[in-house]
C-alpha cells in the first residue's frame, strides 16, 4: 500500500508537471510596452517636424495650404514698408515680398485681390495707420508741447519713419495714391505741430508757420550728407522755433 500510494502521488505530480506548460501557453502573452512617440524619428517628423538634431527647414505656404492663415494682412504691409524703406518703390515686387516672408503667392492672394490693391493699401498704411499711431504715442500723457514734439521725433527715429518718408516722397512723384496719402500724413503732422506751438503761446499764424518750417527742416535733413545725425538738425530747429522773440 505505501508503495501504491507513492506511485499514485508520483503520477499526480507528473500530471501537474505535464499540464503546467500547456496552461502557460494558453495564457495571452503580455504586449511589449509601446515606445513613446517622441523617441521615434518617423513619429517626430510626422508629428512636430524633423527628427531631433536635424535643422528645420522654413515651410513654404502654397495655394490651398491651411498655413496661409498664419500670415495676416499686416505682415504683408509691414514687409512692403520695410522693402520700400530699404529699396524704394521700385523694389516693392511680389517676388521680393514672398522671398522676405518665406511663403508662396497663395498667401498673398488670400489677403489681396491684386498687386495694385496691395500698393494702395501700402500707401494708406503710411498715413492712416503708421503716422496716426506715432502721433497717438507722442500725445499720450501730460507732456508739455516741446516734450511732445521731441517724443514724436524719438518715436519716428526708433521706427525708422524718416527713411520711409523719403521713399514715400519719391513714390509720390509717380503715383497719385502715394501723393494723396503723403499729403494726408503731412496734414496730420502739421495739426499736431501747430497745436504744440499754440500751446507755447504763439498765435495761430505764427504757430502754423513754425509747424511748416519744422516739417520742412525735417524733410530737408533726410537728404543731408555728412557726419551730423538727422536728430541733431531736428533738435536745433525745434529749439530755435520754440523760443519766443524778446
Other CB atoms closer than 10 Å to residue 230's CB: what's the count?
Answer: 16
Is residue 69 within 8 Å of 106, Cβ to Cβ? no
pLDDT at 197: 98
Q: Which three cell numbers stand for residue 129?
A: 495707420
- The full DSSP string for 61-90 is P-TT-GGGGGS-HHHHHHHHHHHHHHH-GG
What tens digit of pLDDT does each residue of 42-66 get?
A: 332 222 233 323 333 333 333 334 4
Closest CA to 222 of 126, 151, 157, 152: 157
Domains of the chain: which residue ranges? 58-112, 122-242
Residues belonging to the chain? 246
Asked if 175 contacts 123 with a C-beta cutoff of 8 angstroms, the reply is yes
Q: Over 60: is that where the pLDDT of 144 sits?
A: yes
Joined grid coordinates for residue 158: 526708433
pLDDT at 124 over 50: yes
Looking at 1.10.1200, 1.10.10, 1.10.3470, 2.30.29, the CATH number of the domain 58-112 comes to 1.10.10
pLDDT tens digits, 74-90: 999 999 999 999 999 99
Among 42-51, 87-96, 182-191, name the one with the lowest average pLDDT. 42-51
pTM of this structure: 0.66
In order of 62, 98, 113, 128, 165, the CA distances from 92 in angstroms are 21, 11, 17, 20, 15
pLDDT mean over 191-209: 97
Separation of first and last alpha carbons in the chain: 142
Q: Specify whether the CB–CB gap between 51 and 41 falls below 8 A.
A: yes
Distance CA 158, CA 164 (A): 12
How distant, in Å, are the alpha carbons of 45, 50, 60, 63, 134 from that of 56?
Answer: 10, 6, 12, 21, 37
Amino acid at each position: 500500500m505505501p508503495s501504491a500510494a507513492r506511485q499514485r502521488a508520483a503520477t499526480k505530480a507528473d500530471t501537474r508537471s505535464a499540464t503546467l506548460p500547456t496552461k502557460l501557453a494558453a495564457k495571452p502573452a503580455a504586449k511589449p510596452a509601446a515606445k513613446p512617440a517622441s523617441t521615434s524619428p518617423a513619429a517626430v517628423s510626422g508629428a512636430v517636424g524633423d527628427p531631433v538634431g536635424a535643422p528645420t527647414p522654413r515651410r513654404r505656404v502654397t495655394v490651398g495650404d491651411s498655413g496661409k492663415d498664419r500670415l495676416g494682412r499686416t505682415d504683408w504691409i509691414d514687409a512692403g514698408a520695410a522693402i520700400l524703406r530699404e529699396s524704394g518703390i521700385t523694389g516693392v515686387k511680389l517676388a521680393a515680398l514672398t522671398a522676405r516672408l518665406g511663403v508662396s503667392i497663395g498667401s498673398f492672394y488670400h489677403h489681396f485681390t491684386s498687386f495694385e490693391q496691395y500698393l494702395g493699401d501700402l500707401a494708406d498704411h503710411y498715413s492712416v495707420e503708421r503716422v496716426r499711431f506715432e502721433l497717438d504715442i507722442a500725445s499720450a500723457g501730460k507732456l508739455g508741447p516741446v516734450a511732445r514734439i521731441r517724443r514724436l521725433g524719438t518715436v519716428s527715429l526708433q521706427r525708422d519713419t524718416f527713411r520711409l518718408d523719403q521713399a514715400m516722397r519719391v513714390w509720390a512723384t509717380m503715383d497719385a495714391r502715394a501723393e494723396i496719402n503723403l499729403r494726408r500724413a503731412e496734414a496730420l503732422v502739421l495739426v499736431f505741430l501747430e497745436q504744440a506751438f499754440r500751446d507755447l503761446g504763439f498765435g495761430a499764424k505764427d504757430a502754423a508757420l513754425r509747424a511748416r518750417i519744422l516739417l520742412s527742416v525735417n524733410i530737408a535733413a533726410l537728404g543731408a550728407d555728412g557726419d551730423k545725425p538727422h536728430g541733431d538738425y531736428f533738435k536745433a530747429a525745434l529749439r530755435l522755433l520754440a523760443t519766443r522773440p524778446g
